[in-house]
A and B are shown apart, each in its own frame.
Chain A
Amino acid sequence: MPQILYRKALNDAFAEELERDENVVLIGEEIAEYNGAYKVTEGLHARFGDRRVIDTPISEAAFCGLGIGASMLGIRPVIELMFWSFSYVAFDQLFNNAATVRYMSGGLINVPIVVRGPANGGTNVGATHSHTPENFAAYTPGLKVVCPSNAYDAKGLMKSAIRDNDPVFVMENTLLYGQKWEVPDEEYLIPIGKADIKREGADISLIAHGRCVITCLEAAKVLEEDYEIDAEVLDLRSIRPLDQEAILNSVRKTNRAVLVDENKPFCGTGAQIAAIIQEHAFDDLDAPVKRVSSLDAPQIYSKPLEDEMIPNVQRIVRTVREIL
C-alpha cells in the first residue's frame, strides 16, 4: 500500500469529492492561488478552477456564514479555517447558526457543511494560535466533531463528512500534516461515530483522539518495554457522535482507563468520557479513571514548557504508573 502524507490524504479526499459532486466547493483564506497555508489544498485550484476552489478575504464570520447560507440551498461548502483558533471570530455563525437552523425550522432546513482546519498546540506559536475547541463543538447539539489521528482516517472521515447532511467540524493537526501512513488507492469511507482500536492490550485502556492517539501509541511502547504493561489504545475518531460502546468494551476488558486529550482539563472532552465510564462501567473499574490533558493555563510560548504543557509520553507513562 502506498505511504502518503496526512495533508495529501486530505487533498485526495477533496479532489475525489469535488470530482464526484458538482455542489462541493472549497472556501477559505489562501486555499486557492497560494495553495493553502499548510498546503492541504495544493493543486486543487489549478485543477478545479475559481468556481470550485475559492480564496476569501480575512472575514471568518462572513465566509463561514456564507457557507452556511449557501448550504441551505444545497451547496456543500468545505470551509477551511487557517487555524481552528480563528473560529472564535466566527463563533456566532458556527455555533449559533449552523447548529440551530435545522432545529428552529422544525427540520425544514439542513446545513450540509464541513468546517475544517488544524486545532492543536505544540507548535510554539503562543496562546492565540493553539486552541483545541473540539469540546466547545461537541458540547453543541446540532454539530458533529471529527478528529482524525492519521492519514488513512483523515481521508475516510473527510469524505464521510463531506457527504454528511449535517454540519461536521473536522479538527486536524499541523504536526500530523507532514507524517505518512498507508492509504489504499481504492476509494473508501469511514463512518462517523466509529472508534478504532489502534493497539490491542489487556492491562489498561488509553483513550484518545487526534494526535494524542499517536502519543498514546508511543507511550504504549514504553509501557511495554520498560514496565511490561500491555496498554490498549482506543482512537475515538469523533467526539460527537461518540462510540460509547467501544469505550465501555475496552474498559470492561482492561478495568483501567487513562483518558488523553489536548483540551484543557476543566470541561474538556475527557470530563464527559470519565462521566460515562463511571456511570456505565463503575463495577468494572479497578482504579479511578485518570486524565492527561493540556495543563490548565493559556498555551505557553516557550517551547520546552509547551512540550510539557500538552500531553506527552512521559506524562502518560507516569499517569498509567499511578494506577498500575
Chain B
Amino acid sequence: MSKNSNTTLETDKKSGAKKQSGKKPAKINASLTRDDKIKLYRDMVRIRRFEERSLHSYQQGRIGGFLHLYIGQESIAVATASLMEDNDHLITAYRDHGNALSVGMTMNECMAELYGRFTGCSKGKGGSMHYFAPDKNFWGGHGIVGGQTPLGTGIAFALKYKKLKGCCLCLLGDGAVNQGAYLESLNLAALWNLPVIYVIENNRYSMGTSQKRSSAGAPLARRAESYDMDWEVIDGSSVYEIREKLSPLMERARNDCTPSVVEIQTYRYRGHSVADANAEKYRSKKEIEDYKKNHDPIMLFEKTLIKEGVLTDATIEEIDREAKKEATDAAKFADESPYPPQEEIFTDVYWEIDHRTGKNEGRIFFND
C-alpha cells in the first residue's frame, strides 16, 4: 500500500501539488448556471444572517454555552458543499453552523439546536458545536480540537472499503494542525491511499494565539510533504478560487483515492466565541477592518456577480431581506419550540436499548 515518492516532481512555492503539464484546470466555474451562482451567493448571505441572528439571541440570553461564529469564512463552507457529489462527505470542528447550512440543513433545526429545543437537529442534545446530518453526508460538528480528523480519515476508509467513488472533506482549524491525532491521520491517509482531503481553514488565530505564536513552519499545509502528500494554499476570499483549486483534488480522490491537504486563507471577524472578551486585543482593529473592506468573501463575490450581470442591486437587496427573514423566523421557531421531554435524557445513548432488541441484558443506567 506504500506510495511512490514525488520528490522528482516540481513544486512551486505556494503549492506542493504535482504540476499537471499541458492540462488546463477544470472549468468548474465556467459550467455554473446563473441559478448556481445565485445559490452560492445566497447561501453565504444566509450563513451571515443566521450567525448575526444567533449572536443577537445569545445577547438576549436566549442561548448559552459557546457560540463560535463563522462570519468572514462563509466562502469555504459554501464552496466545499457546492462541490460535493452523492458519495462525498464532510466533517468539521465546532465552528460548524456554516457547513450545516451549506449542506442543506435548515435554519430552523440549526437555530432550535442552539436554543436547546427538541426540534433541533440533535433534539437539543448536541448544541452549537455538535450539529450532524448523516442524510446529507455531514458528520459533525466536533468539539475537541483535531478530534474529528481521525473520524474523517475513517469515513474515507469506509468509502474505499465499500468501493464507492467518493471523498471526505475533513475540515480543521489552523490551531488544530498541532494535534497529534491530525498528524497520525495524515500518515494513515497517505500510507493507505485514502480519499480524504484535509481542509485547513486558516483564519490566522486559534483563540487568542496567532499562527506565528503556535505553529512552526509555514505554510501549514506544507507538513503534508513529510507524508508525500500533495498540498495547496488557496485564497479563501474567492468562492471561485476555492472551487477551482479544490475540485481537481476531490476528483482525484474519488478516482484514485489520493489524499491531499489544502490550506484556505480566511479570517474570522468576531471573537473566537461570543464569550471571547479579547477579540480585539490579540489583533488590531485595523487588521479586522482591512479584511472586512478588502477581503470579505461575500462583498467580493457580489462584485463579481454584478460584473457578470448575474446580480443587480434589487436582487441583492431581495436576497438579503429573505435571508434576514429566514433567520428571524428561525429564531421565532426555536423560541416557540418545546424543550426535550425529561425522558430524552436516556434515549440515544445506546442503539440496542433504544431499539429494544433484547440483545443486551442486565442494567445499563445507574441512577439510583
Q: Does A68 contact B (CB under 8 A)?
A: yes
Flag if A71 contacts B181 (CB, 8 Å). Answer: no
- CA–CA, A166 and B108, complex, Å: 30
Interchain CB contact under 8 A, B359 and A105: no
Interchain CB contact under 8 A, B157 and A192: no
Q: Which residues of B contact A19 (CB under 8 A)?
A: none
Contact B348 A71 (CB under 8 A): no
A244 at the interface (CB under 8 A from B): yes
A164 interface contact, C-beta 8 A: yes
| Chain A contacts with B in 236-260, Cβ cutoff 8 A | 238, 240-246
Is residue B354 contacting chain A, with contact meaning CB distance below 8 A?
yes
Q: A51-B161, A166-B352 are known contacts. Are A194 and B362 too (CB-CB below 8 A)?
A: yes
Contact of A57 among B188, B351, B360, B362 (CB under 8 A): B188
Chain B residues closer than 8 Å to A112, beta-carbon distance: 351
Which one, B120, B144, B350, contacts A92 given CB within 8 A? Answer: B144
Cα distance, A307 to B364, chains bound together (Å): 33
Known A-B contacts A108-B133, A160-B359; A62 and B157 likewise in contact (beta carbons under 8 Å): no
A61 and B351 alpha carbons, distance in the complex (Å)? 24
Binds A, one of B3-11, B19-27, B122-130, B238-246: B122-130
A174 at interface by CB-CB < 8 Å: no
Cα distance A61–B188 in the bound complex, in angstroms: 11
Using CB atoms, name the residue of chain B closest to A241: B362
* Closest chain A CB from B65 CB (angstroms): 13
Segment 69-109 of A: residues with Cβ below 8 Å from B = 69-75, 92-93, 96-97, 101-109
B181, A238: Cβ atoms closer than 8 Å? no
**Min C-beta distance of A259 to chain B, whole Å:** 16
A135 in the interface, Cβ–Cβ < 8 Å?
A: no
Residue on B with the closest CB to A69?
B154
The answer to whether B150 touches A66, judged by C-beta atoms less than 8 angstroms apart, is: yes
B161 and A75 contact, CB distance less than 8 A: yes
Kindly state whether residue A141 has any CB partner on chain B within 8 Å: yes
Q: Write the chain A residue with the least CB distance to B130.
A: A104
**Which residues of B sit under 8 angstroms from A142, Cβ to Cβ?**
349-350
- Which residues of chain A have C-beta atoms less than 8 A from B122's C-beta? 104-106, 108
- Contacts A62-B188, A63-B188, A241-B364; A105 near B134 (Cβ below 8 A): yes
Tell me the smallest distance from the CB of A81 to a CB of chain B, in Å: 15
The 8 Å CB contact of A272, one of B124, B142, B181, B366, is B366
| Cross-chain contact B125 with A101 (CB below 8 angstroms) | no
CB-defined contacts of B150 to chain A, threshold 8 Å: 61-66, 68-69, 93
Question: A residues within 8 A CB of B360?
Answer: 144, 164, 191-193, 241
User: Chain B residues with Cβ under 8 A from A105's Cβ?
Assistant: 122, 125-126, 130, 132, 134, 140, 348
CB atoms of A244 and B188 under 8 A apart: no
- Rounded to whole Å, the gap between the CB of A322 and the closest CB of chain B is 28
* Chain B residues in 8 Å Cβ range of A101: 132, 140
Other-chain contact of A69, B157, B184, B364 (Cβ < 8 Å): B157
B363 contact set on A, CB distance < 8 A: 193, 241-244
**Contact, CB under 8 Å: A106 / B121:** yes
B187 close to chain A: CB less than 8 A: yes
**Contacting residues of chain A (275-297) with chain B, CB-CB under 8 angstroms:** 276, 279
Interface size on A, residues (CB 8 A): 60
Asked whether, in the complex, the Cβ of A65 is within 8 Å of the Cβ of B154, the reply is yes
Query: What string of 1s and 0s marks CB contacts (under 8 Å) between A205-235 and chain B?
Result: 0000000000000000000000000000000
Checking A51, A106, A144 against B123 with a beta-carbon cut-off of 8 angstroms, the contacting residue is A106
* Contact A244/B362 with A66-B157, A73-B155 known, Cβ cut-off 8 Å: yes
B13 at the interface (CB under 8 A from A): no
Given A25-B161, A70-B157, A191-B361, A109:B134 Cβ within 8 A: yes
Residues of A within 8 A of B206 (CB): none
Q: Type the 1/0 row for B135-152, where 1 means its CB is closer than 8 Å to any CB of A.
A: 100011110100101111
Q: B139: which of A25, A109, A245 is its contact (CB, 8 Å)?
A: A109
Tell me how far the C-beta of B189 lies from the nearest C-beta in chain A, rounded to whole angstroms: 9
Contact at A69–B151, with CB atoms within 8 Å? yes
Alpha-carbon distance A104/B140, docked complex (angstroms): 9
Is B90 positioned at the interface, with any CB of A under 8 Å from its CB? no
| Contact with B362, one of A63, A75, A102, A193 (Cβ below 8 angstroms) | A193
Is A124 in the interface zone, CB < 8 Å from B?
A: no
| CB-based nearest B residue for A66 | B154
Q: Determine whether the beta carbon of B364 is less than 8 Å from that of A240.
A: yes
Contact between A104 and B126, CB atoms less than 8 A apart: yes
B198 CB, min distance to chain A CBs, angstroms: 13
A107 and B348 in contact, given A65-B185, A69-B155 (Cβ under 8 angstroms): yes
Given contacts A106-B123, A106-B348, contact A141 B181 (CB under 8 A): no
Which among B125, B133, B187, B351 is the interface contact of A166 at CB below 8 angstroms?
Answer: B351
Bound state CA distance, A3 and B361, in angstroms?
28
Given A108-B134, A142-B350, A62:B181 Cβ within 8 A: yes
Inter-chain pairs besides A25-B161, A193-B364, A242-B366, 20 sampled, C-beta below 8 Å? A57-B191, A61-B180, A61-B181, A62-B185, A63-B150, A64-B150, A70-B158, A92-B144, A96-B144, A101-B132, A101-B140, A105-B134, A106-B120, A106-B125, A141-B349, A142-B350, A164-B359, A193-B363, A238-B362, A272-B366
12 contacts between A and B (CB under 8 A): A68-B150, A69-B152, A104-B140, A105-B132, A106-B124, A108-B134, A141-B365, A192-B360, A193-B361, A194-B361, A238-B362, A243-B363
